[in-house]
């Protein structure tokens, strides 16, 4: 179950984060990223859902767009509670029964909010598993970003399936993305790591590889991470498409502008050093 496409949990405290774009004449309605303002996105913490299971934060505000996003976050939290209960039941009297998650916030405006789950699970069996899954919300539309439309030059295909659980996050794949990722990984200066992982970075295999994808202000671009088998977990590195690379793939100009503004403003959490938070709004 390593790097499985599911979702995630919340923040430990309410966050007022600078330089975000939800302004519309003072009403709080989301604007396109090209119309960025310095108003902050406010994320409100919720009580934990159980031992070591954080709840998702909710966006403050009462616009229809925010209401739609918060309704999905409600569904995701409910799915997390059920998953944790199922894990305990699967473990039975044997070892396991552990289901924990935490959240980071790779981008908190303007225009887009990304929440990323960090999940550790052991429901019995030979091995525990871990996963990191992110979802980016388009605040102007009140829904998950449409990645194929936002990055048309990559010709992304969503891995959609019927009857998936509420917390399912589809992976993306494309030959162009796989080739880019392969080149990036094979250029890693750690020659020993490259040699150990080389077989997983074959360009042909990467063309069919599923990736999690998210807007990432902390790393200044759009990040991707492959879902590899458990035995290859050490090779499942994150890589980030820079603004210049995004332009080369005809990425939406508003998305690029929003990421650059968020990077400058320090719009992500948590931060290891308060000095890295960037200017306040």
Residue 151 class from Cβ within 10 Å (0-12 exposed, 13-18 middle, 19+ buried)? Answer: buried
Instruction: Return d(Cα 53, Cα 97) in angstroms, integer.
Output: 13
Which ranges of the chain would DSSP assign to H, the alpha helix?
64-91, 147-150, 175-186, 191-197, 203-206, 243-248, 253-265
Residues 6+ apart with CB under 8 A from 208: 173, 178
**Phi, psi dihedral angles at 235 (to 5 degrees):** -95, -5
pLDDT in tens, the chain (281 residues): 344 455 443 332 223 233 333 333 333 333 444 444 445 588 999 999 988 899 999 999 989 999 999 999 999 999 889 988 888 888 877 776 788 989 899 999 999 999 998 888 888 877 778 888 899 999 999 999 999 999 999 999 998 777 777 678 899 999 999 999 999 999 999 999 999 999 899 888 899 999 999 999 999 999 999 988 777 878 989 999 999 999 999 999 999 999 999 999 999 999 875 444 444 33
Instruction: Return d(Cα 182, Cα 206) in angstroms, integer.
Output: 7
Sorted by where each begins, the domain ranges of the chain are: 15-277
- Specify the 3-state DSSP secondary structure of 172: strand
* Contact of 22 with 28, CB cutoff 8 Å: yes
Give the model's pLDDT for residue 34. Answer: 40
CATH topology for 15-277 is Heat Shock Protein 90 (3.30.565)
Give the model's pLDDT for residue 2. Answer: 42
List strand residue ranges (DSSP E) for the chain, in order.
Answer: 15-17, 41-44, 58-59, 98-108, 112-122, 129-138, 143-144, 157-158, 172-173, 211-216, 221-226, 239-241
Give the model's pLDDT for residue 27. Answer: 37
Residues 6+ apart with CB under 8 A from 202: 182
Give the model's pLDDT for residue 171. Answer: 94
- Specify the 3-state DSSP secondary structure of 250: coil
Cα 183 versus chain centre, distance:
23
């Amino acid at each position: 179950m390593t790097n499985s496409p599911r979702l995630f949990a919340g923040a430990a405290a309410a966050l007022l984060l600078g330089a975000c774009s939800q302004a519309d004449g003072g009403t709080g309605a989301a604007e396109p990223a090209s119309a960025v303002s310095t108003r902050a996105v406010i994320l409100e913490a919720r009580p934990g859902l159980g031992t070591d299971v954080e709840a998702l934060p909710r966006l403050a505000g009462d616009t229809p767009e925010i209401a739609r996003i918060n309704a999905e976050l409600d569904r995701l939290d409910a799915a997390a509670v059920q998953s944790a209960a199922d894990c305990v039941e699967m473990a039975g009297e044997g070892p396991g029964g552990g289901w924990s998650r935490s959240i980071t916030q790779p981008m908190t405006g303007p225009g887009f909010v990304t929440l990323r789950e960090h999940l550790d699970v052991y429901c019995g069996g030979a091995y525990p598993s871990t996963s990191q899954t992110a979802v980016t919300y388009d605040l102007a539309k009140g829904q998950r970003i449409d990645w194929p439309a936002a990055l048309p030059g990559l010709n992304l295909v969503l891995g959609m399936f019927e009857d998936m659980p509420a917390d399912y996050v589809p992976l993306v794949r494309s030959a162009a993305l796989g080739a880019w990722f392969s080149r990036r990984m094979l250029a890693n200066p750690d020659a020993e790591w490259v040699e150990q992982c080389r077989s997983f970075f074959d360009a042909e295999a990467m063309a069919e590889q599923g990736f999690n994808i998210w807007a990432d202000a902390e790393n200044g671009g759009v990040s991707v991470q492959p879902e590899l088998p458990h035995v290859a977990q050490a090779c499942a590195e994150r890589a980030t498409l820079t603004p210049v690379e995004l332009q080369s793939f005809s990425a939406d100009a508003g998305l690029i502008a929003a990421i650059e503004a968020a990077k400058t403003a320090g719009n992500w959490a948590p931060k290891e050093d308060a000095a890295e938070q960037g200017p306040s709004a």
